[in-house]
Amino acid sequence: MNAFFAPAIALMNRLKYPAKFSLIGLLLLLPLAFSLNQYLRQINKDIDFASKEQVGLEYNQPVLTLLQHIQQHAALATIYLGGQTEYQDELEAKQAEIDLDIQAVDKVDARLGKTLGATEYWEDFKTSWSRLRVNFYELSAERSIDGHDVLVDEILDLITVVGNNSNLILDPRIESYYLMDTLITRLPMRTQFLSQIRNYSLVITT
């Protein structure tokens, strides 16, 4: 054991006291500096992770509003196409809200869409929405429901892609994971399930 430390002891014996204190201080600081460096690297990783989450939330916020309005439009369309044409004003007002939603998502997609790999999914939705609007008054209530289901599925795909690519559903903190999973996966799917039940019930009763 003494032989192992002999070179270090010899070096210390050759040094004057100020140099000895400096060397000892340096040796004590090295582990601290290493630990601090590791800590800062982890903080930077956490900041980067959180930044990506913020990007995902910013993108999905107007998308979730759009989802709600599409589901409401589906119900109004079912009623209108079932013969209750007095709902036309409400239907057109809802379409105007959706147009505003699309403008809002267009803006956020222009900034974040490529980063999140979302633009292709967003363009698919807009194509489907345009097709539905053009052919809307020629549809039966049942065909309208099918068309709206396609729109909702495309929105859910978009929300999922954004969630995956922004770490929203990869959060290592268990409470945050369940919150995000509920917000971007479970809750939208459940609202769509209830929306489908409502729409088919409207077909039966109109």
Question: pLDDT tens-digit profile of 157-194?
Answer: 999 899 889 876 555 554 555 555 666 666 566 666 55
The answer as to whether 18 is a domain residue is: no
Which pLDDT tens digit goes with each residue over 37-64?
Answer: 544 454 445 545 556 678 888 998 899 8
Q: How many angstroms from the chain centroid is the CA of residue 199?
A: 27
The answer as to whether 36 is a domain residue is: no
Kindly tell me the burial class for residue 163, based on how many C-beta atoms sit within 10 Å of its own C-beta (0-12, 13-18, 19 or more): buried
pLDDT (mean) for 76-90: 90
Total number of domains constituting the chain: 1
Which pLDDT tens digit goes with each residue over 91-101?
Answer: 999 999 999 99
173: phi > 0 → left, psi -120 to 50 → alpha, else beta; which?
Answer: beta
The answer as to whether 33 is a domain residue is: no
The answer as to whether 6 is a domain residue is: no
The answer as to whether 139 is a domain residue is: yes
The answer as to whether 167 is a domain residue is: yes
What lies within 8 Å, CB to CB, of 67 at 6+ separation is 152, 155, 156, 159, 188, 191
Query: Residue 19 pLDDT > 70, yes or no?
Result: no
Q: How many helices (H) and strands (E) does the chain have?
A: 7, 0
Q: What range does the domain containing 141 cover?
A: 48-205
The answer as to whether 196 is a domain residue is: yes
pLDDT (mean) for 18-34: 52
Q: Return the pLDDT at 47.
A: 45
Instruction: Find, among 131, 127, 141, the residue nearest to 201 by Cα.
Output: 141
The answer as to whether 65 is a domain residue is: yes
